[in-house]
Amino acid sequence: MKFLANENYPFPSIKILRAHDYDVKCIAEENFGITDIEVLDIAKNENRIILTLDKDYGELIFKHKSDAPPAVIFYRYKGATPEFAGNILIEVLNNPDIDLTNIFTVIEQNNLRQRKYR
């Protein structure tokens, strides 16, 4: 499973995911300033799941019918620390009942919502 961390995804959370041996490409490290459409293209071309705190990806995928990546994980709830996003994702990945394939996942404070887009 490979991830693409959007510019706004906290670097301490990226470090947590990498420490758990996940392949995480970081837009802020490699492609700072690119558009959301370009992020979608990279994710699709490299088969990466987008990690973001930006709600615009839902609009691009569902309203504008942009080409969708393998999945998007949007954090509506940011947590109290910059490590929150990485820690909660590790919990999600360790749950065998949660599928991320072709799904837009929204992480809220006390809830996880998912919507298939293919």
Q: Given this model, what pLDDT does residue 59 score?
A: 86
pLDDT at 25 over 90: yes
Average pLDDT, the chain: 93
- Could you read off the pLDDT of 75-115 as tens digits, one per residue? 999 889 999 999 999 999 999 999 999 999 999 988 999 99
3 touches 24 (CB < 8 A) = yes
- pTM value is 0.94
Q: Which long-range contacts (CB under 8 A, 24 or more apart) does 60-66 make?
A: 60/36, 61/104, 61/117, 62/104, 62/115, 62/117, 66/37, 66/40
